[in-house]
Amino acid sequence: MLPESLQHLIDQFKRLPGIGGKSAQRLAFHILRTPREEAERLCDAIRQVKDRVTYCTICSNITDVDPCPICADESRDRRSICVVEEPQNVNVVEKTGGFRGTYHVLMGAISPLAGVGPDDLKIKGLLARIGAGGVEEIILATNPTVEGEATAIYLARLLKPLGVRVTRIAMGIPVGSDLEYADDLTMTRALEGRREL
C-alpha cells in the first residue's frame, strides 16, 4: 500500500521504454529521497526538450536551431549525403570523425508489417536536395535489418536514375569480435564484401 502519488509516479515511469516494475519503483523512491531542486532539474530538462527540439528543414535531423549545426556548417562537404533511419544514428557516424559530408534522416524505415511505407519517410526532402544539384554521392547507412535493407534497396532504385552515386555501408564481422560468434548471414556478407590486400 504505497502512497497514491508514489504509486502514480511508479506507473508513469513504467511507461518508459526498458523500465520494468522493479526499476520504476527504484526510480520513484529515488525521486522521493532526492532534493527538490534535483527533481525540478529533471522536469525542466524534459520540458525543454519538448519546447526546443525541432527538426532541421534541410536534413530532418533533430536540432535546437534550424537549420541544424551540421547543415549550417560551411566546412561540411555538400557533395555527399549520408542517409540514416533515426536522429541518434547521425551521432554514431559523427563519432567516427571520418565523415565530413552532410546527413539526411529518414525518420524510420520501410516496414509493411508496421504499416510504414516510403511516403511516411522523409524521402521528398532528400529528392529536393539532390534536385537542387551539387550532390555526388548518397551513402545509405540504414540498419542492416530487413527494414533497413528494404529501405536501402528502394532508395537505390529511386536515386540511381538521378545520376548520383549510391553506396551502401559495409556489413561484416565487427572489429574486435571473434569469427566464432558471427552468424551465417553476417559471415556471408563479410565474404561477399572481401577486399584485395
Contacts to a second copy by CB under 8 A? 1-6, 8-9, 11-13, 15-19, 23, 25-32, 36, 38-43, 45-53, 62-64, 69-70, 86-88, 90-91, 94
CA 41, 47, 51, 53 torsion-angle sign: positive
CB within 8 Å of 144: residues ≥ 6 apart: 171, 189
Between 28 and 135, CB nearer to a second copy: 28
Using CA atoms of 40, 45, 49, 51 in order, give the dihedral in degrees to the nearest 10: 40
Between 20 and 193, CB nearer to a second copy: 20
- Name the residue type at position 180: E
Between 108 and 144, CB nearer to a second copy: 108
CB within 8 Å of 61: residues ≥ 6 apart: 55, 68, 70, 71, 87, 90, 103, 105
CB of 156 to a second copy, least distance (A): 27
CB of 157 to a second copy, least distance (A): 29
CB of 34 to a second copy, least distance (A): 8
CB of 152 to a second copy, least distance (A): 22
